Chains A and B, each alone.
Chain A
Amino acid sequence: MNSNFFEDLELIKKDQSQIDAYNSQRNTVVIAGPGSGKTRVLTLKAASLAQGSIKKPCGLACISYSRETVREIKKRLKEYGYKPTSKDYIGTVHSFTLLHVIQPFAHLYPQYGVKYPVRIIKKEDAVKIYTSVLTELNVTPEQLKPMEINRQRSLSVVGNSQVTFDSTDLIENAASLYERRLLETDYLDFISIINISAQIIHEQEFVRVALRSRFPWLLVDEYQDLGKALHEMVLELVFSADIKLFAVGDMNQSIYGFNGGYPDFLMELISRDDIYPVQLANNYRSNQHIIAASLETLEPSTPLAYFAKRRLEENADFTFVTCNHQMDQQYDVVANKVIPLLTQNNTSLNEIGIITWSNTDVRSIAIALRKNNIPFYISKWDFEKSAIVTWLQDCANWCINPEKQSFDYLFKFWENLLINHDNSRKYMDAIDLKVDFLKTLKKSKAKETVLEWLTLMINNLALADVLEHSDMYPDEINNLKVLLAEATTYNLKGMQLERFAHLGIPNNEVTITTRHSAKGLEFEVVILLGMEEGHFPYYLDVKNPILLAEAQRLCYVCVSRAKKSCILIRSENFTVDTRWGPRTFPYGPSRFWVALNAKFGNENNHFTHKNYPYKNIP
């Protein structure tokens, strides 16, 4: 522990709930709203446990949903001077179950049908299974979406939880059929890995005891995103195996229902008597109006009052912009008027976030911004930030500043990659491999653009050769192709290496993101596009209370990204292709727009795309 740790500890001592959570030695669940400092509390807790009561050969288990959060936790632990030991696990829930349940234990229990080596199914093979399910059940892809099957599979884990969801016979049949088909192959997918793990933990006491001996504490971040299988695992591990729990989550930020992540699990957890719930009600990000506005979108089910702790003197400012026709006008007004006006008023580009619906929208707004020479950065990419891509980013980081990134770490990953993929180079002397790897990295330093750099790295290391027929990363070659395409034609085209190395950090650029990828970000000003009823919430979701509630939470997440102001934009008419040719339909404002307007709207904050008050001062 170093001075950073103790400084942050002093900081949380000023907030009674934060320090309560930190000090709690019971099973603790922290309900933490946006901007409540939850990551700090969690990391302090992790560091303090790892350094204090957890002794080798036990280790710290710290699990989160996204790689990005994992990276953030690791980074903070490093800042606190804690160096994870080989016994610690800090990572995503997927690799946790793979590394600590499936690999060490599944071979003891052949009844679960896990085949070794563990192979992850390729996307194309998954599509084949899906098609065969459709054929067998005699339904069309419109009647049965892959997402529905997967959600059902995620929810199908049997355990102690009382939470249930309604489903149709068709979906239930399809899910169990899919499961059977998958078992017949040599492959697993991420859902089955987690489901089987949950089942093993539920049924096998030996595994529970082993895990308890290995990990006395389980720390979980983003609990609301983790789905039923993890929830079952937690219930087993905590209430029958006696592992101590420290979980952090926010029901209202549960937006991954399509993955089987629902707020109900977190609700069930905190309703238990043997859980110590702590609510972090202070918001250190936004002003009180933004907090009120974000809560407004959740009506009528507002669970908590949040209190602004900063920006007390500020009033939020809301702007409502109405366009006439199509999304194009929305893109135009953002690029030509909204952002220029913000710049004129000295808002830095870093502090502007544009939140939109789909990847297509992201691309279109990017084109509009480029036309106006507004630098931007996209926090949602077509390629996945896979382990390989993350490693390539780290390599890029080393090229830019070797002080910030250990070469040995990069090499270790590369060496393991070759060993795990049985590549012929694994027989080389480690030192010769290292010499070659360093040569490639040094050569790559001379490359300026992302494309040149990636091409050199991928070719010189013969990455495609390594990853061909990969059990571990079956889709990685494709993913790299997507990445290269991004660097050749799309948003990484002509970009400096720095941009790739720091994908997560805008550099005096406007951020463009989708609603689902907005979580964890924060901006002074948030611009919300596509605020029409039928688009947001989606017209099909409106009829389903579960989906509607999730849409509300999604809007809550979007609005709560703002520290100070919120600009909502909608169009009144959309032309769509119908079977009678293109037709134009009128669209009303989204219910969220209506609610926010009722509370914050006035005659001064409504504009159209034509009269938006931006004057070009030459």
Chain B
Amino acid sequence: MAEQKNPYISNVKIKKFRNFLDVDVALDHKQVIIGENNVGKTNFLRAVQLILDKDFSDNDRQLSENDFHESLIDPMINGETIEITLQIKGFEHNSRLIAQFTDAAISDTPPTLQFVYKFFPNIGPLGNILNYKHEIYKGNTEQSKFTSEDRSFINIYVIKALRDVERELKANKNSPLYKLVKKYDISKDDLENISESMKVAADELLKLDEIVHIKKAIQERFTSLAGLQSDNEINLSTFDIDTERLLYTLQVYFGISERPVGELSLGLGNILYISLMLILLKDRTIPSIIKAEKFLELLALDDDQIINNFYELSDQSKYLLKPDIAGADIDSLYSWMDENNSAQQAFTILAVEEPEAHLSPILQRLIFREVLHKSNTSVIFTTHSTFIGSIAPLSSIVHVRNVGASSNIYSTAKLVINDRERKDIERYIDAKRGELYFGKGIILVEGITEEYIIPAAADILGTSLDDYGIVICNIDSTNFKPYIQLLQALNIPWHLITDGDYYEIITTANADGTMSEERVYHIMDGLTVRPYKYRGIENVNDVLVDLQIVEGADIPESQEDARDFFKERGAHVGKHTLEVDMMNETNADGINIIKAVYAELILGGERMQRNFEEVLDAGEYWSALKKIESNISKGRFAQRLAGNLIPALIPKYVEDGIQNFVEEVKEDYEQ
């Protein structure tokens, strides 16, 4: 069923709070906050909680010296101010939210609310700091304060990383199941009937001969001990359940054998808890069940015959919302209910810290795909699970990173990528399990050969990529642009290593006197005097100019200078293709290794090997590559070659690429 989406935090600004010196980040309805440990994911949530969490006390909101960014020296002596600004969008379908937050509106296109938390010095009449105070305001001006009343309309609920799910599920009044049941406002009469029949059934127990006997035995023993004490008759009773306690007794059991929650794995318990929370936080402006008398009341208000169409009478004379109501109908039903059915609706944004705890990768993916794509509640996860990152919508990633002494936050909420590319990337990230998000740096490459050879080359060069958290990202094409956009939005450092794809241009005169050009690929360079170019350089040129990373006018004319120019900017372009460049640039040792690897992998006889060695010795490297492709496959060859790599087999552009990037990432660390 289509549903109205709940309000969500669309922007967060944090100044001078804990890891964050000055950050400003746009968010989406579903948000996945990724980043390493200790980088400030939790602090980011704390900043939001300072404004929105109902469970924070005044004391929690009153910060201290330790809460200032560590770069600030004596912040509370120097009068520094911590400021946190939240913007909320997606509230305008609910008239109560509009009324409650009239003073908080800062824009109507699109409708946006703003809340500002300040922890600031209270300056006395002599200009001295008297003390520090915190205040929360609505809107741009400081006229209107954000109070606990406001928090009962919009708030955040944080599910902490480590918790005892079993205990919370059984926590009677605080159990989410109980709260959920209470939301339905079950009639007391129904409960009393049930309670009564339970008692009647249980009383049968007392009539059992065994029980009667026990009672008598106790009575006798007690009377003899208590002596002459009057009023000492002993009675046995089962239970006298009051209706409220009846609701507590509801418990969740799993599976056919009805395993209690305590026996579940922690992971499943977590899922259960989060599922219950999501149901609990649903917008109830459109009630799922309406009692008969209430329904009649509403019907009386309903001149346009709206609600009759959407509810049906149940066996217990209650009105149930029909399933599968179309989107447009839901909208009109929503605004009608919003207008006529006065039920206060709190909108809670759910934040879950490290939901992956205790969950197998497969369950992580299943559950969070469901939550992220289908729930109408705005949800924020913090995670370092690549699995959750991998199934998150591309626009919902927030990346918290250390930059120098502070953490910075980057998000993809405002990424402009066309749909086709977006799907490509999402598929890629899904297939690669989100490793892209977790690299300290990313080397973008175009094929399987690079994916095998480059890490091996880095090992040989003594700069293992794993040591620096650098990830090779093979995008299986040369369309680097959307990937670079994504990495830039998240401020993840990147380099790209790509083939040169050398070609020459043959110009011929046509019969009608015009000239036509033809490109010749897959040839070695320097054998003719024909004009030549590198398609790899052209591609890099287009992408970097397009993304305004370089100015078209700054790019040197000559191909060789252009290659150096792009190298400086993180795009390393070879001459031909990686294998060919390896063969072309290596020495006799290298050639021997290639021959040996070929020999290991072919199934054919010596003749095949001889043919390969002949073209190789003749310098016909393109032919050699063709033989590898047709007789072995590039991937298998690269995989084996990687294990036998020697320095002489590493082309210069690859070596430069690795070393430059490692240097850059290292600097990043040291900052």
Contact B127 A407 (CB under 8 A): no
Contact B96 A403 (CB under 8 A): no
Query: Which of A426-434, A501-509, A568-576 faces chain B?
Result: A426-434
Contact B127 A438 (CB under 8 A): no
In Å, the complex CA distance between A409 and B141 comes to 13
In Å, the complex CA distance between A2 and B122 comes to 9
Contact A438 B98 (CB under 8 A): yes
Residues in B neighbouring A407, C-beta threshold 8 A: 102-103, 144
Residues in A neighbouring B123, C-beta threshold 8 A: 1-2, 51
Contact B125 A431 (CB under 8 A): no
In Å, the complex CA distance between A405 and B127 comes to 29
Q: State how many angstroms separate the Cβ of B435 from the closest Cβ of chain A.
A: 47
Interface centre among B100, B102, B124 (most CB of A within 10 A): B102
Contact A402 B102 (CB under 8 A): yes
Contact B103 A435 (CB under 8 A): no
The answer, yes or no, to whether A603 is at the interface (CB within 8 Å) is: no
Q: State how many angstroms separate the Cβ of B371 from the closest Cβ of chain A.
A: 29
Can you list, as one digit per residue, whether each of A407-441 has a CB less than 8 Å from chain B (1) or not (0)?
Answer: 11100000000000000000001111011011000
In Å, the complex CA distance between A432 and B122 comes to 37
Nearest B residue to A428 via CB reads B342
Contacting A at CB under 8 A, from B117-146, are 122-127, 130, 138, 140-144
The answer, yes or no, to whether A6 is at the interface (CB within 8 Å) is: yes
Nearest A residue to B146 via CB reads A408
Contact A431 B99 (CB under 8 A): yes
- Which are the 10 A-B pairs with shortest beta-carbon distances? A48-B125, A407-B102, A406-B143, A434-B99, A435-B99, A438-B99, A1-B123, A406-B144, A408-B144, A407-B103
In Å, the complex CA distance between A128 and B611 comes to 128
Instruction: Place the interface of chain A in its size category.
Output: 20 to 34
Contacting B at CB under 8 A, from A42-101, are 47-48, 51-52, 83
Q: State how many angstroms separate the Cβ of B357 from the closest Cβ of chain A.
A: 38
Contact of B344 among A9, A48, A408, A431 (CB under 8 A): A431
Residues in B neighbouring A437, C-beta threshold 8 A: 99
Q: State how many angstroms separate the Cβ of B125 from the closest Cβ of chain A.
A: 3
Contact B100 A434 (CB under 8 A): yes
Using A406-B103, A408-B138 as known contacts, list a sample of 7 further A-B pairs with CB atoms less than 8 Å apart, ordered by residue number in A. A9-B125, A52-B126, A403-B140, A407-B103, A409-B144, A434-B100, A435-B96
Q: State how many angstroms separate the Cβ of A246 from the closest Cβ of chain B.
A: 14
Contact A51 B99 (CB under 8 A): no
In Å, the complex CA distance between A83 and B141 comes to 13
Given A403-B140, A408-B144, check contact A47 B100 (CB 8 Å): no
Contact A6 B127 (CB under 8 A): yes
Residues in B neighbouring A5, C-beta threshold 8 A: 125
In Å, the complex CA distance between A214 and B654 comes to 79
Residues in B neighbouring A2, C-beta threshold 8 A: 123
Q: State how many angstroms separate the Cβ of A282 from the closest Cβ of chain B.
A: 23
In Å, the complex CA distance between A434 and B122 comes to 33
Contact B124 A51 (CB under 8 A): yes
Contact A431 B100 (CB under 8 A): yes
In Å, the complex CA distance between A6 and B123 comes to 11
In Å, the complex CA distance between A9 and B143 comes to 24
Nearest A residue to B138 via CB reads A408
Nearest A residue to B126 via CB reads A52
The answer, yes or no, to whether B95 is at the interface (CB within 8 Å) is: yes
Contact A51 B130 (CB under 8 A): yes
In Å, the complex CA distance between A502 and B141 comes to 20
In Å, the complex CA distance between A440 and B94 comes to 17
Residues in A neighbouring B140, C-beta threshold 8 A: 403
Chain A contact surface mostly: helix
Residues in B neighbouring A431, C-beta threshold 8 A: 96, 99-100, 153, 344
Residues in A neighbouring B153, C-beta threshold 8 A: 431
Which B residues contact A (CB, under 8 angstroms)? 95-96, 98-100, 102-103, 105, 122-127, 130, 138, 140-144, 149, 153, 342, 344
Nearest A residue to B150 via CB reads A408
Given A406-B144, A434-B99, check contact A1 B342 (CB 8 Å): no
Nearest B residue to A432 via CB reads B342
Q: List 23 A-B contacts (CB under 8 A).
A: A6-B127, A48-B125, A51-B123, A51-B125, A52-B125, A402-B102, A402-B105, A405-B143, A406-B103, A406-B141, A407-B144, A408-B103, A408-B138, A408-B144, A409-B143, A429-B342, A429-B344, A430-B149, A431-B96, A431-B153, A432-B342, A437-B99, A438-B99
Residues in A neighbouring B344, C-beta threshold 8 A: 429, 431
Q: State how many angstroms separate the Cβ of B140 from the closest Cβ of chain A.
A: 7
Given A431-B96, A435-B99, check contact A47 B144 (CB 8 Å): no
Can you list, as one digit per residue, whether each of A180-224 has a CB less than 8 Å from chain B (1) or not (0)?
Answer: 000000000000000000000000000000000000000000000
Nearest B residue to A47 via CB reads B125
Residues in A neighbouring B105, C-beta threshold 8 A: 402
In Å, the complex CA distance between A5 and B122 comes to 13
Q: State how many angstroms separate the Cβ of B271 from the closest Cβ of chain A.
A: 34
Residues in B neighbouring A6, C-beta threshold 8 A: 127
In Å, the complex CA distance between A176 and B287 comes to 66
Given A1-B125, A407-B103, A429-B342, check contact A435 B95 (CB 8 Å): yes
Nearest A residue to B149 via CB reads A430
Nearest B residue to A437 via CB reads B99
Contact B99 A52 (CB under 8 A): no
In Å, the complex CA distance between A83 and B145 comes to 11
In Å, the complex CA distance between A5 and B123 comes to 10
Contact of B102 among A1, A52, A429, A438 (CB under 8 A): A438
In Å, the complex CA distance between A48 and B122 comes to 12
Given A408-B102, A434-B99, check contact A52 B143 (CB 8 Å): no
Residues in B neighbouring A83, C-beta threshold 8 A: 142
In Å, the complex CA distance between A438 and B101 comes to 11
Q: State how many angstroms separate the Cβ of B92 from the closest Cβ of chain A.
A: 13
In Å, the complex CA distance between A431 and B105 comes to 17
Can you list, as one digit per residue, whether each of A389-406 has a CB less than 8 Å from chain B (1) or not (0)?
Answer: 000000000000011011
Nearest A residue to B105 via CB reads A402
Q: State how many angstroms separate the Cβ of A485 from the closest Cβ of chain B.
A: 32
In Å, the complex CA distance between A408 and B105 comes to 12
Q: State how many angstroms separate the Cβ of A56 from the closest Cβ of chain B.
A: 12
In Å, the complex CA distance between A431 and B342 comes to 9
Residues in A neighbouring B138, C-beta threshold 8 A: 408
Q: State how many angstroms separate the Cβ of B185 from the closest Cβ of chain A.
A: 15
Nearest B residue to A434 via CB reads B99
Q: State how many angstroms separate the Cβ of B476 from the closest Cβ of chain A.
A: 54
In Å, the complex CA distance between A48 and B125 comes to 5
In Å, the complex CA distance between A9 and B100 comes to 38
In Å, the complex CA distance between A168 and B98 comes to 63
Q: State how many angstroms separate the Cβ of A415 from the closest Cβ of chain B.
A: 12
Q: State how many angstroms separate the Cβ of A603 from the closest Cβ of chain B.
A: 55
Given A51-B130, A429-B342, A438-B98, check contact A1 B144 (CB 8 Å): no
Residues in B neighbouring A434, C-beta threshold 8 A: 96, 99-100
Interface centre among A6, A83, A407, A409 (most CB of B within 10 A): A407
Nearest A residue to B94 via CB reads A435
Residues in A neighbouring B98, C-beta threshold 8 A: 435, 438
Q: State how many angstroms separate the Cβ of A95 from the closest Cβ of chain B.
A: 22
Given A1-B124, A429-B342, A431-B99, check contact A52 B130 (CB 8 Å): yes
In Å, the complex CA distance between A9 and B103 comes to 32
In Å, the complex CA distance between A83 and B125 comes to 14
Q: State how many angstroms separate the Cβ of A268 from the closest Cβ of chain B.
A: 31
Contact A52 B144 (CB under 8 A): no
Nearest B residue to A81 via CB reads B123
Q: State how many angstroms separate the Cβ of A57 from the closest Cβ of chain B.
A: 16
Q: State how many angstroms separate the Cβ of A85 from the closest Cβ of chain B.
A: 11
Residues in B neighbouring A9, C-beta threshold 8 A: 125
In Å, the complex CA distance between A408 and B153 comes to 15
Contact B141 A403 (CB under 8 A): yes
Contact B96 A51 (CB under 8 A): no
Residues in A neighbouring B141, C-beta threshold 8 A: 403, 406
Residues in A neighbouring B95, C-beta threshold 8 A: 435
In Å, the complex CA distance between A407 and B102 comes to 6
Q: State how many angstroms separate the Cβ of A72 from the closest Cβ of chain B.
A: 18
Nearest B residue to A78 via CB reads B143
